[in-house]
Amino acid sequence: MRMVVKGNGAVAHAVRLSRAQVVSAYPITPQTSIIEEIATMVAKGQLDARFIKVESEHSALAGCISASSAGARAFTATSAQGLALMHELIHWAAGARLPIVLANVNRAMAPGWSIWTDQNDSLSQRDTGWMQIYCESSQEVVDSVIQAFKVSERVLLPTMVVLDAFFLSHTFEDVEMPEQEVVDSFLPPLELPHKMDLAHPAALGNLVFPDRYMEFRRKMDLAHDLALGVWDEVGREWGQLTGRTYRIVEEYRMDGAELVLVTAATAGSTARPVVDQLREAGVPVGLVRLRVFRPFPASILRSLLGGRAKVLVLDRNCSFGHHGIFHQEVKSALYDLPQAEQPRVCGVIAGLGGRDITPDDLEEMLTGVWKDRITDPVTWWDVLSAQDPAKAALAMS
C-alpha cells in the first residue's frame, strides 16, 4: 500500500508490521512522534503490544531488556541526550545478546542545546556491540526496521536504526508500505534461545571471572562478523519479496570513478544529483553510501575504493581531537590495501547541529578535492573563520 509518511511514521508502521510485543519508551524531540504513533496504534488495537511509559530513557531500555530477556520482541526509540542516558544499558543489551531494535533519530548533543541533526549521538555508541544502520529515506526506514528485527534475531545482537532529525524524521515522503502477510512471511515470531525459563531459574548477568569474560566478548565479536553476511542475505531476501533489494553499502556511478564521495544517511540523496552534474562536466565522480556501519564493512569498502585516485569522506560528526568518525574508519580499512591501490583520503566535517549540506556545498567540496584545492586531511566546512573576511564580519555583527 502506498502511503505518505514522515520518517518517524515510517518507523512506527514498521514496528507495527514487525509485530513488536513490548514497546518501552520515553519521549524526546525529534523522536516523539514515533512513540506517539506507536502508542496510538497500541491503544487502537492495531498493534498487540504492551506499551510501557517510563520516567527516563534508562528505564525505557531496561524495560526492553527485561521484555526481551523474557522472549518478547522489544522496541524503543530515542535521540541524543536520551540515547546518552541509555548508555549503561546499551552495553547491557548487547552483552546480554538481546535482539532489541532501537530507532535513534540523529540529533546533536548539548550543549549548546540543539534539536537538529548530526551523528555524534549514535556514533558515541559505536563500541557497545550494537549493530548500526543509517537510513536515507522513509522507504529505507520502513524496510530497515523490519530487516533489523530479522538480523538481530538471527545473530542475537541489538540493532540501532538511525535516521536524521527533521531532514528524515519530519519530512513526508511517498512510501510503499509492505503488506502484513509479506512481513509475516519474512519475519517469524521470536524464539529467543536463551530466554528466561521459569523451570530453570537463573541469575542473569552474574559475576564472571577473568577466566571467562573474554570468551563472552569474543562471541559478540564473532556474531558481528556473522552479521555482515546476514545483512546482505536479508537485504536480498527482502528484495525478492518486495522488489527493493538492500546492500550493506550502496554504490552510485562507481564505474570509472576516480574520485569517490563516501557518506551516510540523507546526505546521500543530496549527493546523487551532484554526482550526475559533475559527471556531465567531465569529473569522474562516484558515490558510496554507508548503510550498515556496525558491523563495519571493511572488505567491501576496500574492494570498492581500492585503486581509485581520491576519496572524500563527508562526516556529519566529529571525534574531537581526531577526524570525522566515518573518515577514520574508512581510512583504517584502506590501510590494508597494497600501497599502490591506496587512494588519497580527505575528510570534510559538515552539517553539525543540523546545518544544511547543500548541493552547492557538495559540488564545491568535490571540485576542490578533484582540483587539489582541498588537500588537508580534515576540513571543517563552512565554519566562521578569521581568514575569511566576509564571514568574520558576519561573526562580528
Partner 1 sequence: MVELNPKYLEDVPLTSYSDNAITAIKTGTWKYVQPVYEDKLPACSHVCPAGNDISKAMDLIARGDVAAAARLWRAGNPLASTLGRVCPHPCESECNRRQFGGAIAIHMLERFLGDSSLDESFLPEKARPTGKKVAVVGAGPAGISAAYSLALAGHEVEVFDDKAKPGGYLRTGIPDYRLPKEILDRELALVGSLGVRFTCSTHVGKDITLDDLKQRFDAVIVAVGFHRSRPLAVPGEDHPNVYNGVMLLERILAGERPELPSPVAVVGGGNTAIDVARSLLRLGVEPIIVYRRSRLEMPAIPGEVDEAEKEGVPFHFLTAPSQVVVEDGRITALECLKMRLGEPDESGRRRPLPVEGSEFRLPVAGVVTAIGESADLELLPESARDGWRVAADERFATPVDGVFAAGDAAFGDGTVTAAVGGGRRVAAVVDRRLGGRELPAAAPSLQKLWQRPVEAAHPVYVEQLNVAYFTESPRPQIEEMDAQARRSSFDEVVQGFTDEQAVHEARRCLVCGTCNECCNCLFFCPDVAIHKRNGVVGFEIDTEHCKGCGICVEECPRSALTLVEVES
| Residues making contact with partner 1 (CB under 8 A) | 95-97, 156, 193-194, 200-208, 212, 215-216, 218-219, 222-223, 225-226, 228-229
Judged by CB, which is closer to partner 1: 59, or 78? 59
Backbone dihedral angles phi then psi of residue 131, each to the nearest 5 degrees? -85, 150
Angle at 230 between CA 226 and CA 236, to 5 degrees: 155
CA within 13 Å, CB half, 217: 10
Q: Torsion angle of alpha carbons 163, 164, 166, 169, nearest 10°?
A: 0
Residues 6+ apart with CB under 8 A from 272: 252, 287
Judged by CB, which is closer to partner 1: 157, or 264? 157
CB of 294 to partner 1, least distance (A): 16
Judged by CB, which is closer to partner 1: 189, or 229? 229
| DSSP state for residue 22 in the 8-state scheme | E
Judged by CB, which is closer to partner 1: 137, or 159? 159
Per residue, what are the HEC states of 59-86? HHHHHHHHHHHCCCCEEEEECHHHHHHC
Q: Is 353 left (phi over 0), alpha (psi -120 to 50) or beta?
A: left
Judged by CB, which is closer to partner 1: 14, or 155? 155
Inter-residue contact 343 to 308 (CB < 8 Å): yes
Q: Can you tell me the distance from the alpha carbon of 263 to that of 234, in angstroms, rounded to the nearest whole number?
A: 23
Place of cell 566546512: 381
CB of 379 to partner 1, least distance (A): 36
Q: Is 186 left (phi over 0), alpha (psi -120 to 50) or beta?
A: alpha
For the record, the C-alpha cell of 83 comes out as: 540515547
Judged by CB, which is closer to partner 1: 198, or 396? 198
CB of 66 to partner 1, least distance (A): 11
Judge residue 43's burial from the number of C-beta atoms within 10 Å of its C-beta, 0-12 exposed, 13-18 middle, 19 or more buried: exposed
CB of 205 to partner 1, least distance (A): 6
Residue 164: name the closest of 363, 384, 357, 364 by CA: 357
CB of 64 to partner 1, least distance (A): 15
Judged by CB, which is closer to partner 1: 130, or 167? 130
Judged by CB, which is closer to partner 1: 45, or 201? 201
At 214 the three-state DSSP class reads: helix
